[in-house]
Amino acid sequence: MEEITISQAEVLTSPNPFAIIVSYKPSGGANLTAASWWTYVSNRPAMVAVSLSQKGFAGECITQYGTFTLCVPDKALAEQAFYCGTVSGRVEDKAAISKIALRQWKEGFPPVVENSQVAMLCRLERAVPAGDHTLYIAQVEQVLADSSKQGLKAYDGYRRLE
Ligand SMILES: Cc1cc2nc3c(=O)[nH]c(=O)nc-3n(C[C@H](O)[C@H](O)[C@H](O)COP(=O)(O)O)c2cc1C
């Protein structure tokens, strides 16, 4: 073995499960953020966590409204989903520009990405600052799935979706 950086390790250990985090924007509508640093953290109760950069917009939106949806998009959305990881929702209306179809599922939660393999309606429980990111730990209130879809994975850190 040899010593490497954590960024190099992220490439070596990819792929990661990928998700689009949908949050409410203070100006109205939904913001879509690409996220490969998410994980399941508990079965009972159902819980997930997602680590989001403190520079990004999504964390701010989630903190303000307390809910988000975590959607694993189908492979057909690879290009549009990648776009959601290249620009901030503070700068562009990613829902409008990407034309990713959204569907309102439950009151109080941002819409879900329609063409998803799995979508989870999440209620923020705790936000834990961790270095340059914040870990958003959430209870999953409802899980939706379409097993005919193939969920995207993130390869080589943030570089590629397949
Ligand atoms: C494939 C991929 C995966 C990403 N995963 C994460 C992640 O897990 N956490 C994070 O903070 N940013 C991640 N990013 C970067 C953000 O999506 C990107 O900075 C985005 O512009 C933030 O948008 P926002 O400011 O609207 O939240 C990822 C980008 C890509 C392309």
* 136 Cβ closer than 6 Å to some ligand 1 atom: no
pLDDT for position 92: 98
Would residue 162 count as lying in a domain? no
Residue 53 Cα to chain centre, angstroms: 12
Q: Considering only CA atoms, which residue is closest to atom 23 of ligand 1?
A: 88
pTM score of the predicted model: 0.98
pLDDT for position 58: 98
Please write the tens of the pLDDT for every residue from 15-37.
Answer: 999 999 999 999 999 999 999 99
pLDDT for position 157: 84
Say if CB 33 and CB 89 are below 8 A apart: yes
Query: Structurally, how many domains does the chain consist of?
Result: 1
The encoded tokens of residue 78 equal 């690879």
Q: Which helix (H) or strand (E) holds 142?
A: strand 133-145
Q: List, for the chain, all residue ranges whose pLDDT scores fall below the cut of 50.
A: none
Q: CA 78 to CA 106: how far, in whole Å? A: 26
CA of 22 to the centre of ligand 1 (A): 12
Would residue 142 count as lying in a domain? yes
| Beta-carbon count within 10 A of 21 CB | 25
Would residue 1 count as lying in a domain? no
CATH of the domain at 68: 2.30.110.10
Q: Considering only CA atoms, which residue is closest to atom 5 of ligand 1?
A: 35
| Ligand 1 atom nearest residue 55's Cα | 25
Q: CA 38 to CA 152: how far, in whole Å? A: 13
Choose which residue among 11, 53, 62, 134 to substitute to test ligand 1 binding: the one with the highest number of ligand atoms within 8 A of its C-beta: 53
Would residue 92 count as lying in a domain? yes
| 3-state SS assignment for residue 58 | helix
Q: Residue 138's domain spans which residues?
A: 6-157
Would residue 138 count as lying in a domain? yes
